[in-house]
């Protein structure tokens, strides 16, 4: 991508551009080992009762999967939703973006990542040459938790079959996970965000490469971490390029 174009996208993300001579990769200092704002706190304690078995969606088409999500009543948040938030974008995308759960605006519109957080995500994707319409975007949860609280472990388990089927149908080369909760649920780990960033991970079932970064809503509250998010995006692009190479 042309350096001037990339700088405009970085400015749209709210990242100061202050070193015109060096490459973008050289401009960014290494991220410190720990993040700010409490984002590296562990998940809540998992209840002692067994988690529900994820729905078997392994044979569902896109339309059947959407219908299954729309009619789902597997957990209590189905009673408080305005509508389900299935996912959106290119169903054959090379990149898939996964967040944690719909917010109030997503619940109203039925589409993930809208409003200010969605606009920042759009700018983040544009910054690395991946416009929103070229990727597929989904959440771990398909319904909004009341008061935008963190998803409970049983709720994520109830939705896991839907998300796994979306991953299978899209078959992306790379998954970009935004936020601690989404990363911990997808990767089945309690590791903090600070340790998950900067590494290549893999979805336990499919083996799809995963890169973890901050949630756009967090970056709106903590804009000083946008440069570290930009570093994550550059790393994601490197991982994607490595896996997109045709076999020798």
What are 143-170's pLDDT values in tens digits? 999 998 999 999 999 999 999 999 999 9
Strand, helix or coil for residue 94: coil
Q: What is the pLDDT of residue 33?
A: 40
Mean pLDDT on 117-123 = 96
* pLDDT digit string, tens, across residues 12-69: 677 665 444 333 333 334 444 433 344 444 444 444 567 778 788 999 999 999 999 9
Q: What is the pLDDT of residue 245?
A: 72
Q: What is the pLDDT of residue 21?
A: 39
CATH architecture of 3-16+82-244: 3-Layer(aba) Sandwich (3.40)
Question: Across the chain, which distance is largest between two alpha carbons, in Å?
Answer: 58
Percent of the chain with pLDDT over 70: 79
pLDDT at residue 77 tops 80: yes
Going from the C-alpha of 192 to that of each of 42, 170, 186, the distances in angstroms are 6, 27, 13
Q: What is the pLDDT of residue 116?
A: 94
Q: What is the pLDDT of residue 205?
A: 84
Tokens linked to 176? 């970009």
* pLDDT digit string, tens, across residues 79-92: 999 999 999 999 99
88: enclosing H helix or E strand: strand 88-89
Q: Which residue has the tokens 């709106």?
A: 220
Instruction: Report the phi/psi class of residue 191: left, alpha or beta, with left for phi > 0 and alpha for psi in -120 to 50.
Output: beta
Are the C-beta atoms of residues 15 and 7 closer than 8 Å to each other? no
Going from N- to C-terminal start, the domains of the chain cover 3-16+82-244
pLDDT at residue 198 tops 60: yes
Q: What is the pLDDT of residue 76?
A: 93
Percent of the chain with pLDDT over 90: 74
Q: How would residue 103 be classed by pLDDT, with cut points 50, 70 and 90?
A: very high
The H-assigned helical ranges of the chain are 3-12, 24-27, 62-70, 104-109, 115-127, 153-170, 180-187, 193-196, 216-221, 226-244
Mean pLDDT on 132-141 = 97
Mean pLDDT on 168-197 = 97
Mean pLDDT on 209-219 = 97
Angle formed by the axes of helices 153-170 and 62-70, to 10°? 160
Mean pLDDT over all residues of the chain?
Answer: 86
């Amino acid at each position: 991508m042309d350096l001037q174009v990339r700088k405009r996208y970085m400015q749209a993300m709210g990242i100061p551009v202050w070193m015109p001579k060096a490459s973008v990769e050289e401009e960014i200092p290494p991220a410190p080992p720990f993040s700010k704002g409490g984002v590296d706190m562990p998940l809540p304690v998992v209840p002692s009762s067994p988690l529900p078995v994820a729905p078997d969606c392994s044979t569902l088409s896109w339309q059947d999967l959407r219908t299954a999500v729309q009619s789902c009543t597997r957990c209590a948040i189905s009673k408080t939703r305005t509508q389900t938030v299935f996912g959106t974008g290119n169903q054959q995308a090379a990149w898939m973006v996964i967040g944690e759960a719909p917010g109030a605006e997503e619940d109203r519109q039925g589409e993930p990542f809208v409003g200010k957080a969605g606009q920042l995500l759009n700018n983040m994707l544009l910054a690395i040459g991946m416009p929103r319409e070229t990727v597929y975007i989904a959440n771990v949860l398909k319904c909004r938790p009341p008061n935008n609280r963190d998803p409970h472990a049983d709720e994520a388990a109830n939705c896991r079959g839907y998300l796994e089927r979306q991953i299978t149908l899209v078959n992306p080369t790379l998954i970009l996970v935004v936020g601690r909760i989404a990363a911990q649920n997808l990767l089945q780990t309690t590791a903090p965000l600070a340790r998950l960033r900067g590494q290549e991970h893999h979805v336990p079932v499919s083996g799809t490469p995963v890169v973890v970064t901050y949630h756009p809503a967090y970056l709106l509250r903590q804009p000083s971490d946008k440069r570290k998010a930009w570093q994550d995006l550059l790393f994601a692009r490197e991982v994607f390029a490595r896996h997109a190479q045709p076999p020798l």
